Structure 1
Amino acid sequence: MINVIHVLWSAQYGGIQRMVLDLCIEQYKNSEVNSSILFISSKGNYFQEFDNAKIKYTTAGFKGGRSFSFKKLKKIRNQFKKYQIVHFHDFNPIIFLIALTTRKKIIYTEHGNFGFNRRLTFFEKLNHLVKRYALKYFTKAIVCNSSFTKSVLIKRYNIKKEPFVIENGAGSNFFSDPQEAQNYKLQIGDRFVIGTSSRIVEVKRIDRLITAFAIFQKEHKNAVLLLVGDGKLLSEFRKKVVKLSLEDHAIFTGFKRNVHDYQKMMDVCVFPSQNEAFGLVAIETLAIGKPTIVFNDGGGLPEIIKQVNQYDVVDSEKGLVKRLEYYYSLNKKEDLKKETIRKEVAKMYSTQNMEKKYLNVYERLLENVRD
């Protein structure tokens, strides 16, 4: 039995939390692995999902990245001592140092939070400096979620050891509440739905989607933009929609636990992110057969979509408009064959495959210990 504890900063909904949840669900099915989670902060709107899946976890109760108490640090250290492997998914220098004192094997998964498209604070820059030394000298294995993430990590942190690449897997245990989404479905009616589902933050580049939709909608009055998610730029994009006179053609739902119900409403899914580390959400929409469009500067996203259709990777807002025109005019019967291809590609990124690859990394580490 391999004992692993995953370390996350919080249970605030995001791709990392979703990935760790799916990984733990698969690890619970595997008699060879005993896993648990330590949340450093007790904040988050995603705890219910971990509770529903009966995932074991504890919280350290930290309030911020630079707040700590010796009592809480001692509690964390005692937790780490119960396991053979400490698997970090977020980096915090103090928590990492505590793990080092236990002499346990440390794995770090780089999920690609590199801070693109924004100015880093002094403490973030300091954190990156410490992280460079931690990864180079004190981490037994590094895993990246895409080839894009791997290339950035090696360059930014001057990593000499070869990181593993293990793509995130998309699970099938989606929370669903069709009744909750019914009001939005009635509001949309039979209009052509262009949608996205993500956090509304800089890296997601929702501005590119809104700009392209404004052009597309001029010629297609029955089109509607469905934006599912929340984030600090939500207010800014609401104003942008009003400025472009699109308020009757754009729907902001805010955060939704049952995001899958909204993805099903979309005729075309667009993820306009720039330098996205992986893009699990694209796997989710491909799995239900939806046409999925991304940008060529989307980091790990093009790696996925090129396996389906290279023309669904665009280089500009104009290119996105052209691709939306294509799907608008496409006969649904003509799209059935492509729908099958999308679903087949999505199957390659299963949570089962992800879990097997992580197990292989764990076993390699522990074999080295026994040697």
Structure 2
Amino acid sequence: MRILHIVSALAGGGVESSVMGSYRILAKDGIIFDFAVFTDRVGMLEDEAKSYGSKIYHIPSKRESYKRFLKSVKDIMKNGNYDAIHCHLAEKGFWFYYFAKKYGKKCIMHTHGCWNKQSFLGKLKKNILVALSSKYCDMYCSCSMASAKYVFGKDYKKSNIINNAFKTERFLFSQKDRDEVRKSYNIKDNDFLIGAVGRLSAEKNQGFLIKILSEILKKRKTAKLMLVGNGAMKSEWEEFAKRLKISDSVIFTGNVKNPEKYYSAFDAFCLPSVNEGFGMALVEAQINGLRCFASNYITDEAIVKKENVSKIVLVDEKKWAEALTDAESGYERNTCIADFEQFSVEQVSRRLISLYNKLL
């Protein structure tokens, strides 16, 4: 079986990391995943994918040449010998769906998003693209029920929910990892480290945490914020920290190959997203036993340990600062890994192959 996965990049983000998690298991059974990505850069996961026999297509940018973009998509769909096309771009993958159907290939539309703040025109455009794309798709998949309802509307029940897959045991708390990470960034034992993991983007809203940190520092001088990940907003938020004169207390790690180790270094975890299809990082933080603070836009489907998660409206900056300061008092980081079985890469991989067999 050979499946083409269409993702933004293979740079280690949540979607592609989940796909690769399943791939590592399914490749042992001779199943091949190829990838189409929308960047010229070689992603950190590409070499591993190629080691399993994958082919990576780097699709030309629409902005540079729409004609070249269309030709590239058409050629892949026409000449690729695929059992199915699995597109993780939801309605934005319209041309992949169109050409897949034209050349007789089964196609999956998979949504990972849930835009809570969207203009009327944005919603209208989304709805039109979903309606058009649906004509050429054979199956719907979603990362959560909230995401399914957002994209597919009244047809949300037709969508198959596929949890993001990962090795859950890797995210258990480790004192060794905590000591190593904190030492490498010169974080002292008595420093209160607030952490966030994910792409640095407007929808992830990490800039909000920089603002909150400035409030916390008025009372707790040794508080620090660590932002794990990279993205388009990095420069802007570095400048924001400078303007607030707290640059020394904000750590930008960039992309890392072992994000699971960083959770152990944190004293509290935050997910202040304004738009989030699921919030996988919140699940990872709960496995680590962290006290977690999430925006009111995060779906309850991502909350497994209710006693460890506080949802706070984003407009209440004072409440965020107070809640985080209270978390400094300490707590036991105990986790029962069985509570997170539904996210295990083994279980999700079985679910995925079952859906492929159903499709074919």
Shorter chain as normaliser: what TM range? Answer: 0.7 to 0.9
Q: How does 1:60-139 map to 2 (within 5 A)?
A: 60-65=57-62, 66-68=66-68, 72-73=72-73, 75-80=75-80, 82-90=81-89, 91-112=92-113, 114=115, 117=117, 129-135=128-134, 137-139=135-137
SS in 1 for 2:232: coil
- Report the residue type matching 2:57 in the other structure: A
CA-to-partner distance for each residue in 1:255-309, whole Å, 9 max, x for gaps? 33333333332111111112200122222223333332211212x3x42225432
CA apart distance, 1:224: 1.0
- Report the residue type matching 2:140 in the other structure: I
Distance in structure 2 (CA, Å) of the matches to 1:292 and 1:217: 19
Structure 1 unaligned runs (5+)?
A: 367-371
Task: Name which of structure 1's ranges 182-191 and 105-114 shifts more when overlaid on structure 2.
Answer: 182-191
Distance in structure 2 (CA, Å) of the matches to 1:13 and 1:187: 25
Instruction: Please give the root-mean-square deviation of Cα atoms over the aligned residues, in Å.
Output: 3.3
Match of 1:39 among 36, 39, 52: 36
CA apart distance, 1:99: 0.8
Aligned-residue sequence identity (percent) comes to 21
- Report the residue type matching 2:21 in the other structure: D
Structure 2 unaligned runs (5+)?
A: 172-176
Contact 1:271 1:294 in 2 (8 A): yes
Distance in structure 1 (CA, Å) of the matches to 2:208 and 2:185: 27
Contact 1:170 1:284 in 2 (8 A): no
Distance in structure 2 (CA, Å) of the matches to 1:266 and 1:196: 9
Distance in structure 2 (CA, Å) of the matches to 1:70 and 1:193: 47
Distance in structure 1 (CA, Å) of the matches to 2:22 and 2:342: 15
Matched, 1:229 2:238: no
Residue-pair matches, total: 346
- Report the residue type matching 1:204 in the other structure: K
Query: Residue 204 and residue 245 in structure 1: after superposition, are their counterparts in 2 closer, same or farther (change >3 A)?
Result: same
Q: How does 1:310-325 map to 2 (within 5 A)?
A: 311-315=309-313, 316-325=316-325
Query: Residue 196 and residue 120 in structure 1: after superposition, are their counterparts in 2 closer, same or farther (change >3 A)?
Result: farther
CA apart distance, 1:121: 9.8
Task: Name which of structure 1's ranges 307-316 and 206-215 shifts more when overlaid on structure 2.
Answer: 307-316
CA apart distance, 1:76: 0.8
SS in 1 for 2:265: coil
Query: Residue 129 and residue 56 in structure 1: after superposition, are their counterparts in 2 closer, same or farther (change >3 A)?
Result: farther
TM-score of the pair, normalised by structure 1? 0.80
Distance in structure 2 (CA, Å) of the matches to 1:310 and 1:112: 24
For residue 361 of structure 1, what is the aligned residue in structure 2?
355
For residue 151 of structure 1, what is the aligned residue in structure 2?
149
SS in 2 for 1:329: coil
Distance in structure 2 (CA, Å) of the matches to 1:55 and 1:273: 34
TM-score of the pair, normalised by structure 2? 0.83
CA apart distance, 1:117: 5.0
Match of 1:350 among 344, 355, 358: 344
SS in 1 for 2:225: strand
For residue 305 of structure 1, what is the aligned residue in structure 2?
303
CA apart distance, 1:149: 0.2
SS in 2 for 1:187: coil
Q: How does 1:160-179 map to 2 (within 5 A)?
A: 162-171=158-167
Distance in structure 1 (CA, Å) of the matches to 2:266 and 2:181: 14
Distance in structure 2 (CA, Å) of the matches to 1:154 and 1:71: 28
Contact 1:282 1:292 in 2 (8 A): yes
Contact 2:228 2:253 in 1 (8 A): yes
Distance in structure 2 (CA, Å) of the matches to 1:209 and 1:265: 17
CA apart distance, 1:73: 4.7
